[in-house]
Structure 1
Amino acid sequence: MADPPLLELRGVSRLYRPRRSLLARGPEVVALDGVSLRIGQGESLGVVGESGAGKSTLTRIILRLERPDAGQILYRGADVARFGPGALRAFRARVQIVFQDPQAALSPRMTAEEILTEPMLVHRDTVGLDRRGRRARVAELIETVGLRPDHLRRFPHELSGGQRQRIGIARALAAGPELLLLDEPTSALDVSAQAQVLNLLIDLQDRLGLGYLFISHDLAVVRYLCDRIALIRQGRLVEEGPAAQIFDAPRTACARRLIDAAPDLGAPLRSAGRTTGTD
């Protein structure tokens, strides 16, 4: 029997009723409507949609920061909604997120070393490292993301945007995850830093066998980073399939519009090779 996917969403829906006033609520807003997706071990799935399509809601539901109104989130075949406190802590160690804005995501009062150590303390039961082990792990992480040991002594404001995002990626790796949720991780960076961070993500996936759920509105980026693409419009999954199929033979008008609006894709990012943390 085949192993279950690393992460599976089955018919996930989420509705909101925003407040019009202190006592009255407005009409229901559909954030997600019956979305079903699967991500295998070491696979990258790009979720693409316009602003307000439901991409960020999807991320929050996966992390169980919000509960869906319908549907299931399965991790290796187990229903996340049924996890007790211990299982939920282990799940959150194995599924980590890299945020869109590294400036806002990193504490300005912590050095890079402290930022990388914190997840190992939060998830100490899963990570299982003593102080010496944590220091060794931090040194390994900073090298893994292409930065120098002296970067560990710096605060976020002393780093460039690309370097801050590398620290954000290293922090996500600290607890030993199997899946990274990448919430538009390059949109706040300049073009040069974007390319270097994307090449780093490709390299990490090749070396560590990570699964990626890549949230974006940029098809040009998603095409080269992801094995499959899911297109979401107004909370609904309108098309899903291999990246080449989505681009070469889109089945829906929505997919064709998104592809036509995408910029010139240029050479595949995977051909650019590894990059170091000079961004």
Structure 2
Amino acid sequence: MISAVLLDLAGVVYDGESAVPGATEAVGRLRAAGIPIRFVSNTTRSTKRAVLDRLARLGLSVCSDELFTPAEAACSWLREHARSPHLLVHPNLIAEFPNLTGQEPKAVVVGDAGDAFDYRALNAAFRELVDGAELLALAPNRTFKDVDGKLSLDAGAFVAALEFASQTTAIVLGKPAPDFFRSALATIPCAEAEAVMVGDDAETDVAGALRAGIGHALLVRTGKYRAGDETRFEPAPTATADDISAAIDWILAKRSETE
């Protein structure tokens, strides 16, 4: 039984400012079939509003409550635990953390800060950690597909450096944290075993979803995918598809088998 689909965005639905070929139509086919969709992105360089605007420019109408981002999860965590953020994030993302400063104790929030990952910024975060701050990782991704088409370092390497130096274990808020997948499904609602995840990252999207109890996880050969990714991490993908269109073909065929 397939009752919901979780879709990654970068590398699956869009690549930079362009839609992945067939992506708009693929999402439309899911909606026409009456299958609820939640978009679960680990992007930490753009605000939620900016992501929604990008999708709209690509011809995809996505409601705010259909999109889940790590920054949103971090704000909820900070409010719940009465923490003030020390931000080590991309300048574009700072606007996602309004009215959360000034209270103690603190939590270091790490995203893909890009060029802001310099020694001074990393050392300031380290000093907060040794003074007792929690470490929040918006996403632990190793790499992302950069604008030149090549892989670049993502936030995961910097999170690992701060963990090592401060002897602290990060609290991961985006994928592959089980609660991130579950919070998206809770809004449908849908049991984890009845959902399918589609992503281009075999580690955080696919293996992470399966470890969280998601029934199926499909790896697409677009975005950051590189040959052999389907065998690099456990659990292995339920299936590997050429792109989102082929992934939706698989989902619709699988769903028809159980109806």
Bin the TM-score by the shorter chain: 0.3 to 0.5
Q: Which has the larger radius of gyration?
A: 1
Give the TM-score normalised by structure 2: 0.32
TM-score, length-scaled by structure 1: 0.31
